Each structure stands twice: as structure tokens, then as C-alpha cells.
A = this chain, B = another copy of it.
Amino acid sequence: MSKSIFSICLFLLVVAGPVFAQGDFMALMPVPFTNVRMEDEFWRPRIDVNHDVTVGHCLDWCESTGRISNFAKAAGLMDGKFEGIYFNDSDVYKVLEGAAHALALRDDPVLDRRVDAVIEKIAAAQDDYGYLNTYYTLVEPNQRWTNLRVRHELYCAGHLIEAGVAHYEAMGKRTLLDVAIRFADLIDSIFGPNKRHGVPGHEEIELALVKLHRMTGEERYLRLAEFFVEERGRPNGRELYGESLQDHLPIREQTEIVGHAVRAMYLYSAVADLAGINGDAGYFNAMDRIWNDLTGQKMYITGGIGVWDHHEGFSRGYDLPNEKAYAETCASIALALWAHRLNSLYADARYADLLERVLYNGILSGVSLDGDKFLYVNPLASHGPETFNTSGGKEGESKQHRQHWFRCACCPSNVVRFIPQVGGFAYAHDEKDIYVNLYVASHAEIPLSENRISIRQETAYPWDETIKLTIEPENTETFGVLLRIPGWCDNARLKVNGHKIDKPLMEHGYARIERQWSAGDAIELRLPMPVRRIQSHPNVLPNMGRIALQRGPLVYCLEGIDNGGRVMDISLPDNSRLRAKYKPNLLGGAVVIEGKGLRRIDRGDPDRLYRDAFYETEKQKVMAIPYCLWDNRKPGEMVVWIPRHPSLSETEIEENP
């Protein structure tokens, strides 16, 4: 971020505080990503690649696939038919939101102009009443608002609003924001308690309206968001859409996570926003139940969610197939959004634990290191692109191997808007305390009542266990610094100014250090990162007898390229020593896990499905890489859950090293 923008944002935050107020019932206020300068070797390069490659890549694809020219056509600026899927407008909005966040972090006049040019077409496509949806304008002009279940007008409007807010926050321009406001006003004039009833088939506008409310202070947007949330599961003269669209029961009566994963997460994100504002106990209780169901039974170890391809959603508890995992990138992103909101609502580290899990695993796997290839589906095992193509192949594309784009391009356009915001998950505060949720080399500016606190983190996290935080309050003051002790960490150690703190006060997963802080006070936190073997709940049948490797927040996988081509036939003896090793030249620099495994020798006739069991194995050096880095090289097999080899004797595995 350029210094000037950094200062402007800080000014806005401090001066315009009430406009950004999150809600009276929120325990914490997140520190916006514009106040956090990422200085690390893990996220900073990804944020740069997102700015330098992904934003432009997505804009190029939005152009070449007609997504942008749909606006020009709807505006009458060019001839031609609508191209693509009826919700393609949303991709353009999401990419613009990503561009805006990127511009909030770093000046880029070329990108700024490109964004303005797209906005110009969008604005031109809006009709005099504020309506804006290129599919309806070009294809079914007389059918507006007739198919809320499927056609996604309100979903697209939600992304327009988010983009408008982001663009205004980044650039101070009202061009896109005003378009969004006009459309929001039109929608507000149509839908509501004494107006038309109905809910969007794809949630999204609810959380967007809360954002718009927060930015503008306008109560109507908040009421409309509440209306859409409250309407779910209530017929009110319409047919309910059922579980797959979370429209089976009123929110307060919902007990399980069901249906389409992204939609559910967007919905509950809005519920969390509203709960923070209205304090509704029914919302809190419903979210608690749903959270417990989700995390206790329906989530991959990567934080991936939604196992089924046919409705992109949840199955029954413990139904977590690996190779057929859908675990859409968008769903992981949406889970992070919800988890972050819950962390702010409750000031409880367990939500940040999950945020970290999905951030470092299920989300990051969605984008290639070079920033222009994506995974839509994030399986936990793969036979590689040639042989595995059942899941997600609806549109004739293999979603199992990185693609430059997808016909349904929700995932790339979600990645591009998400990555720049990662710094915004790192810190939060209330009136008297500062919370550190993510460990990442960074510099944050945090307002605390009348004071302003600068925090610098120095760490090579997630590769290394040591974190040094230097606290620089503008004025010496007594307050708490609450450090998240990750759920994966058994033996955290803490020093303040070199003095060991043996038993820090623990509060909902945070170690509280309350003292008078002066400029230069330093905290040293060590989060030991042994390689851990993880097993699943025994009800997860495909993982029985298998383990996953985890170190720090990172889940690991075996990829063919590092393990002699095949990984499906590798097992890992329980007594095989596993060593973490940093490889600076691998995949942008990464800690890998090395050990000795066994490869099953298959001498069976490849034409025979079933043969007499044959137990010969050979030794195989095993190297695991972080799951988020898979499919960045030669494509091939990949597996997260590795079969155990329970009890080979030490000599058997350790001889002839």
C-alpha cells in the first residue's frame, strides 16, 4: 500500500468511526486490511501476484467471454446478444471488487483507469429506474423478478453492492457506489414486509446490504437485509425452496447445515452481521447449532465444505469422500467470511482457528502460485486430470485440475477479491484490548479508544514457530494484548521483554497479556510445530486406517511428482520418523515433510479388478508438501489421507537408511 492511501484509510477509520461501526453486539472490531501492511514471504507475494497477475487475468477473461460487453450491449453501446450464463454479471462485479481492494493496497493508475472504463459500461447499462441485470435486459426484459429461485438477480445485485462499497473505500469515487445504491433503492422499493415477499435463491445480497448500511448509515438497507434473512423458511404466499437453498425453516429454527455450501455461508455471514447489530439470541443460537454441525461432522480437514457435486452442497454427517470431495473454492472463502464474523461476535479463538485452517488449506489451494490458474473443486485425493473427471464435470471441464477459467467462473472471481483482504483477518480490538488472530510478518495500525497502537510482527510463520511482536503505542497505556494460541498447538511458550510467562491467563483460546505497554515492548511467542499425524472421527469411513500430516496450520499431501509418480499405493509406518525441512527453491519456498514409507507392490493383472491379496511392499522415500501447493507442477496423483502401516518394526523400516 502506498503511504498516502494508508494514511487516508487510517484517517477515514479514525475520523469516520461511526460509519464503520460493526454493531453493538459484536465483541470485537476487526482491523481493516488497509491498516495492515503485510511484510511476510508467504502472503505478501500472493497479494502481489493477485494484483499483478490475477486481477488483469480475470478482467481479460471477463472481456473475452463477453461478460463485460454484455453491459455494453445492455446499454445499447454495441450490438449483439447476451453471452454466457445468466449470472455472469456477478463475475465482473467480483473482479472489480478485487481490483478495488488491490488498489486500496497499492497505487496502480493503469488498473484504476481500466476499472473506471468497466464501471462506465456498467453504469450505462443501468436503466432509469435503477434496474441492472444484463441477462434480463438483453434476454428476458419482461421477466424481471419472476424467477428469484434460479436467476440470481438479487445475487448479482449483492455483488454489485459489495464492489461499489469496495471501490468507494479504495478510491473515494462514487461511480460504482452510486450505481449500487440506485439498484439497492429499487430493490428496496419492491421487496419488503408490506411489499413483495420472496428470497433470493442464492444468498449474497443480505451481507452486501449490511455493508451498504454500514457505509451509508442508511437504515433501509439494514431492514431489507433483515427482511431477506427473516423471509427464509417462511412461505408468505410463495413456495419454499427447501433445504438445498436453506429455505426449509426460519433461521431461528434451523439446526443443521444443509444445502448449497456457498449460499449457506453467505446467508449465515449475513445472520452474523445482523446478530452483531440486533443481538437476537435466536440468531446466535441457530449459528451455534449450525457451526457445531458443520465443524463436528461436515468439514474436510482442509476446511473444505460441501461434498456433493450435484448441488454443490452438504451431505449427511461424516460423509466426506476424498476423491469426490467437491469442496468448492468459493465455499471455503465463504466459510472464512463467516468464521471471521463469528470471531468478531464472540471474541473466541476457535473461530479464528477455523479461519486459519481454511485460509492456509482449502482456500489457498484454489489458486496457483503464478496466479492465473484455479481449482474450482478441491479434492483430498486425485488420480490426476486424465483419469479423474467425475466430480464437477458438469460443463465439460475438468474442475479437478487447474484451469485458467471456468464457464461458471465464481471461484476465480472470488479468489481475486479475497486475497487482498487477508490482512484484515489478522487483528481485531475492542475498546481496551488488542487481539492477534493471525501470525504473519506485518505492521498494523490499531485505534484503541483515544490511543493508537502500532504492532509489528516478525516471523516466518507458517514455516517457523517463532513470532516476535513489537508493540508501539502512541501513548504508554495499560491494555491487553490477546494472542491466539492455535488449537493445533500443544505447548505454546510466551515471553514479554525476554521474561518467560509461564501460565498466561487464557480467555476463549487467547493468552491475555495485560500490562502497561510502552513503545518497543516486545512479545516472543513460540508455537512449536512438530509434524502431527491426524486421524478422523471413526465415522468417516474413507479415512479409517489413514492419517493426514499436519504441521502448524498446514495440512500436507503427497503428490506424484515428489514420490516416484504414484502416491495412492504409499503407506506410512507409524514408527517412520517424519522430518520437516525448508526447501527454499521449491514452490516459492516451502517446508516439506520427509520420511520413509512403503510402497505396495502390485503384481496383479491390471485387467483384474479383484485378486488374491498380496502383501509385498518396498521402501519408498516419502515427501509431503503443503496441500495448498498441490497441482502447481506436473499434474498427477495426490492424496491427503495416507494409509497407516501400523506396526512395522523399527529395524524393518529403519535399516539401510
A positions within 8 Å CB-CB of B: 292, 295-297, 299, 301, 310, 315-319, 321-324, 381, 383, 387-390, 532-542, 544-548, 568-569, 571, 574, 600, 602, 604, 606-615, 643-649
Q: Assess the B610–A301 pair: CB atoms within 8 A.
A: yes
Q: Which residue of the partner chain, among B297, B538, B608, B611, contacts A602 with CB atoms under 8 Å?
A: B538
Q: Assess the A316–B390 pair: CB atoms within 8 A.
A: yes
A-B contact pairs, 14 of them (CB 8 A): A297-B609, A299-B609, A315-B390, A316-B389, A318-B383, A321-B321, A322-B541, A538-B568, A544-B600, A544-B643, A615-B644, A645-B647, A646-B646, A646-B648
Q: Assess the B607–A538 pair: CB atoms within 8 A.
A: no
**A207→B421 CA distance, assembly (Å):** 63
Q: Assess the B615–A646 pair: CB atoms within 8 A.
A: yes
Q: Assess the B643–A608 pair: CB atoms within 8 A.
A: no
A606-B537 in contact given A319-B390, A545-B643, A646-B645 (Cβ < 8 Å): yes
**A607→B295 CA distance, assembly (Å):** 9
**A187→B389 CA distance, assembly (Å):** 40
Q: Assess the A571–B545 pair: CB atoms within 8 A.
A: yes
Complex interface: chain B residues within 8 A of A615 (CB): 574, 644, 646
**A348→B238 CA distance, assembly (Å):** 62
**A34→B571 CA distance, assembly (Å):** 54
Q: Which residue of the partner chain, among B296, B532, B546, B613, contacts A609 with CB atoms under 8 Å?
A: B296
Complex interface: chain B residues within 8 A of A538 (CB): 568-569, 600, 602, 604
Q: How far is the CB of A557 from chain B (nearest CB, A)?
A: 14
Q: Assess the A323–B541 pair: CB atoms within 8 A.
A: yes
Q: Which of A317, A323, A389, A541 has the most CB of B within 10 A?
A: A541
**A383→B296 CA distance, assembly (Å):** 17
**A604→B606 CA distance, assembly (Å):** 39
**A11→B148 CA distance, assembly (Å):** 70
Q: Assess the B609–A540 pair: CB atoms within 8 A.
A: yes
A607-B648 in contact given A539-B568, A541-B323, A574-B615 (Cβ < 8 Å): no
Complex interface: chain B residues within 8 A of A310 (CB): 310
Complex interface: chain B residues within 8 A of A607 (CB): 292, 296
Complex interface: chain B residues within 8 A of A301 (CB): 609-610
Ordered nearest first, which 8 A-B pairs have the shortest CB separation? A533-B613, A545-B643, A535-B613, A547-B613, A296-B607, A538-B602, A537-B609, A301-B610
**A321→B322 CA distance, assembly (Å):** 11
**A317→B388 CA distance, assembly (Å):** 9
Beta-carbon nearest neighbor of A602 in chain B: B538
**A574→B614 CA distance, assembly (Å):** 10
**A56→B355 CA distance, assembly (Å):** 59
**A544→B643 CA distance, assembly (Å):** 8
Complex interface: chain B residues within 8 A of A568 (CB): 538-539, 541, 544
A534-B612 in contact given A544-B568, A568-B544 (Cβ < 8 Å): yes
Q: Assess the B536–A610 pair: CB atoms within 8 A.
A: yes
Beta-carbon nearest neighbor of A388 in chain B: B316
Q: How far is the CB of A551 from chain B (nearest CB, A)?
A: 13
Q: Assess the B545–A613 pair: CB atoms within 8 A.
A: no
Contacts A295-B609, A319-B324, A613-B644 known; 14 new A-B pairs at CB < 8 A: A296-B607, A297-B609, A299-B609, A310-B310, A316-B390, A317-B387, A319-B390, A321-B321, A534-B612, A535-B614, A537-B609, A538-B568, A544-B569, A646-B647
Q: How far is the CB of A645 from chain B (nearest CB, A)?
A: 6
Complex interface: chain B residues within 8 A of A322 (CB): 541
Complex interface: chain B residues within 8 A of A318 (CB): 383, 387
Beta-carbon nearest neighbor of A548 in chain B: B610
Complex interface: chain B residues within 8 A of A321 (CB): 321, 324
Complex interface: chain B residues within 8 A of A613 (CB): 532-535, 547, 644
Q: Assess the B316–A534 pair: CB atoms within 8 A.
A: no
Q: Which of A299, A535, A568 has the most CB of B within 10 A?
A: A535
**A649→B649 CA distance, assembly (Å):** 9
Complex interface: chain B residues within 8 A of A295 (CB): 609
Q: Assess the A533–B612 pair: CB atoms within 8 A.
A: yes
Complex interface: chain B residues within 8 A of A383 (CB): 318, 539, 541
Q: Which residue of the partner chain, among B536, B541, B609, contacts A536 with CB atoms under 8 Å?
A: B609
Q: Which residue of the partner chain, among B534, B535, B610, contacts A534 with CB atoms under 8 Å?
A: B610
**A297→B615 CA distance, assembly (Å):** 22
Complex interface: chain B residues within 8 A of A611 (CB): 534-537
**A306→B179 CA distance, assembly (Å):** 52
Complex interface: chain B residues within 8 A of A546 (CB): 545
**A316→B309 CA distance, assembly (Å):** 15
**A547→B611 CA distance, assembly (Å):** 10
Beta-carbon nearest neighbor of A389 in chain B: B316
Q: How far is the CB of A375 from chain B (nearest CB, A)?
A: 19
Q: How far is the CB of A362 from chain B (nearest CB, A)?
A: 13
